[in-house]
Amino acid sequence: MDIGAESIPRDKRMAIPIIIFWVFMIFLAMSWKNVSGPALYLLMLVSAPLMGVLYLGFSYVGEGSKLYGLRPITDRLPAVKRPEGVHVHFKTKMFWTIGILILYFILTNVFIYGLDQATTVDVFASYRAILAGAQGSLMHLGIGPIVTGSIIMQLFTGAKIINLDLSNEQDKATYQGVQKLIVIIMIFVEAVPQVYGYLNPSTSFVSGMDGLWSGNGGMLAKTFIVVQLFIGSYLVFLMDETVSKWGIGSGISLFIAAGVSQAIFTGTLNWMPANSAEIMSVANPPAGAIPKTFYLITHSSASQMAGGGIEQLILQPPNPLIALVGTIVIFLLVAYVESARLEIPLAHESGRGSRGRYPIRLIYASNIPVILMGALLANVSMFSLLLWSHPTMQNLPLVGQKWWIGAYLPQSNEPISGIAWYLQAPKGLYEWLLPLMSERYQQSYLPFHDPGQLIVRLVLYVMVMIVGSIIFAKFWIDTTNMGAKDVAKQIQSSGMRIPGFRREPKRMEIVLDKYIPVVTVLSGAFVGALAAGADLIGTVGNTSGTGLLLTVGILIRLYEQMAKEEMMEMHPMLRGFFSNE
């Protein structure tokens, strides 16, 4: 089915209920006590395109999914062209991969023009390692909108709300185009509330904008900041596409690994004092785990070590010794598990004696489930903070400023109660083990809760990470052609078969269906448990267990992909087996 974007069948009567809905929404906004005139104009400007998107979708009356109605937009979105009919050489792929990585680091150091850095509240502070961003820079949102868009599409596709067959080229193109559109929408959904609540423009920038539109300089300044965030976030999306199509691996994975590696390096070897405003001392040792260990051992007396120095060295932040040990253990464990696999024997149909094996990794769904879980929890944290302290959203009925969603201290991004607190990842042993061991640490690390609530939080967080990772692993396998049915077709198309079975996709699917669903569940559960366990132990550089787990897996996969690309460069006959070229 090939539907031209200009000849899409529509029921134009659908425009009437959508216009009525839009007018009703504007009417509600006009009656809202905290919405000023300029803010109302901005709401109308932002919501009008969304109503247009709704009309294009709901008015489609042709065959297939309603999402085909969005093709006038999705077919025109900027995209990186895929190389067609030509093999991209290994050196070219390395050039694009390294070039995009350098560009990413440059953009993390390009700060938003006009932003008051001193009053900025980072709502994603606890999830920076996963979102691959940098506070106050063009990369402030990081990969958050991209991953959130992927979550929405996977959930809708897995729940059959979206009727698309991803084995069909037209449906797959529609899926990717709509996902790109959702990413653009999510950029504004994440950027606008932050700018109009926590990313404040400087007074000089506001006064300069006030000269352009008297009395509305603040709104103009904030709008300009939103535009900068949009440009930065869409550049991340295009850079991810560039790496995926012209480089090696995934841009998202590359950015995560780069950010986490930088944090681990500084968290391990930083010799500057933890509090830069004070001189270095036993109470203010170096921030890096290794310099801190040597400094405390050589500068602390026996009485100081006995009076809390050992706990400061091993358990207390910043970068305690146990975090360094935990980081090394997690690295080695993931590196070992990545090599564990179940191999299904294969035989070539026409070549006698020609045999092979199809490997099913223990971590079959890769680390994607914990990326999606991390992004989901980051959004929970962001919206709970917005609902508690945002000047407008805190007044929303039923959900505004409710402690059970999440309560926060003034100018703080750390929840102290509610769902947000129970789903907040622990930052190491000092946050839960020390309060459980001694009452004298409860006031410092657990001021608003008792040990029983802390235990419930730990159990709930681990269970949410495991169950959520299993669910996302199943969705990921179903939407990326890694299920038993798709793998059976791939084996058949390569001319191979499973010995003892007919060379029919249905027969091979029955065999694969005994392994792939089980391994998918085990894969999701394992990476979820490993990420949660690493969070409980703590990591150097505050990279979080999820960030560390992702980075180790990403680096191993990147090495394997580079080896495979180099092998195909040396032996061109292998391209037909390893790729679609």
Q: Mind listing the pLDDT tens digit for each residue in 498-543?
A: 777 666 777 788 888 888 999 999 999 999 998 898 889 888 888 8
- Note whether 511 and 344 are within 8 A (CB): yes
Instruction: Specify the 3-state DSSP secondary structure of 286.
Output: strand
Opening angle at CA 25, ends 20 and 29, nearest 5: 145
User: Which pLDDT belongs to residue 528?
Assistant: 92
For residue 366, how many other CB atoms are within 10 A of its CB?
A: 22
pLDDT band at 300 (very low <50, low <70, confident <90, very high): confident
Q: Indicate if the pLDDT at residue 351 is higher than 70.
A: no
Q: Mind listing the pLDDT tens digit for each residue in 230-277?
A: 999 999 999 999 998 899 888 888 898 888 888 899 999 999 998 888
User: Which pLDDT belongs to residue 99?
Assistant: 95
Residues contacting 414, CB < 8 A, separation 6+: 126, 408, 424
Q: Mind listing the pLDDT tens digit for each residue in 250-260?
A: 888 889 888 88
User: Which pLDDT belongs to residue 561?
Assistant: 84
- Note whether 156 and 167 are within 8 A (CB): no
Residues contacting 144, CB < 8 A, separation 6+: 124, 131, 133, 186, 190, 375, 378, 379
Residues contacting 90, CB < 8 A, separation 6+: 565, 566, 568, 569
Q: Mind listing the pLDDT tens digit for each residue in 402-422?
A: 999 999 988 788 899 999 999
Nearest to 408, CA basis, from 422, 421, 424, 395: 421
Q: Indicate if the pLDDT at residue 356 is higher than 90.
A: no
* All domains in the chain, ordered by first residue: 1-76 (no CATH), 87-270 (1.10.3370.10), 320-556 (1.10.3370.10)
Q: Indicate if the pLDDT at residue 167 is higher than 80.
A: no
- For the question of whether the overall pTM of this predicted structure is more than 0.85, the answer is no
pLDDT band at 581 (very low <50, low <70, confident <90, very high): very low
